[in-house]
Amino acid sequence: MNRTQRLDRFISQNTGYSLADTRMLLAQKRILLDGVEAHSIHQKVTRFTHVMLNGDCLQDNQPVYLMLNKPRGVVSATKDLKHTTVLDLVQHPRKNELHIVGRLDFNTTGMVLLTNDGAWSRRLSSPETSLAKTYEVTLSEPVTQAYVDVFRQGIYFEYENITTRPARLEILSGHTARLTLTEGRYHQVKRMFGFFQNEVLALHRVSVGAIVLGGLEQGQSRALTSAELCTIQQNERQGFHHGQD
């Protein structure tokens, strides 16, 4: 989890200086935040703020943003006594700091995002963000235009007494389709196709927002690029518009 502190509290908790001493340190220009002279005791220090005092580094945490192509039969968890977890597949020196952004079911494959930035993951996972997630689905029965129309309207889930948000469904072949959602309810894809009594045989997440899995091999991970991070921030609140094809 990320914790934001006022500058004077951060200094007093991480040095021998008191809260009152911070004003003196500011006046003497002895504190740098992200390479810039600090100017107020009220400035915010997050987990990833680079803090220097008297030329010594007090904090130098770096955010980590990774993409993993999850194979079938891997658990979306950081620890599991029986099964391989997504974290077991990650090769990163700070892997123990990471948590999962948007889990996938045991048999679902594709993109999983991992980070140590709690604020980022909460923002992406928030229902208000409406971040689009796209899946390729293989089904036991053929998909027809009727599916497209119903998915666009939303499907009523009696147990929760809710109707799903409009979803975009593109038929790829008789038994395969590409589905884009802006929410992530429990077993949502399977339940939506279950409306037509059509069993999901395989489910693969290919993108989250504007970040695309691409040619990343199953079981492999890589850091998100600066361009991908910028793009997903731009798309966080765009969501999916009703009636979009």
Catalytically annotated residues? 105
For residue 75, give Cα distances in angstroms to 63, 70, 78, 104, 207: 24, 9, 8, 8, 19
Question: 139 with 201: CB under 8 angstroms?
Answer: yes
For 189, the enclosing helix (H) or strand (E) is helix 188-194
Task: Give strand pairing partners of 109.
Answer: 204
- 114 C-beta neighbours (distance < 10 Å), count: 24
As a residue count, the chain comes to 245
User: CA-CA distance, 172 to 174, in Å (whole number)?
Assistant: 7
- Beta-carbon contacts of residue 201 (< 8 Å; ≥ 6 apart): 138, 139, 140
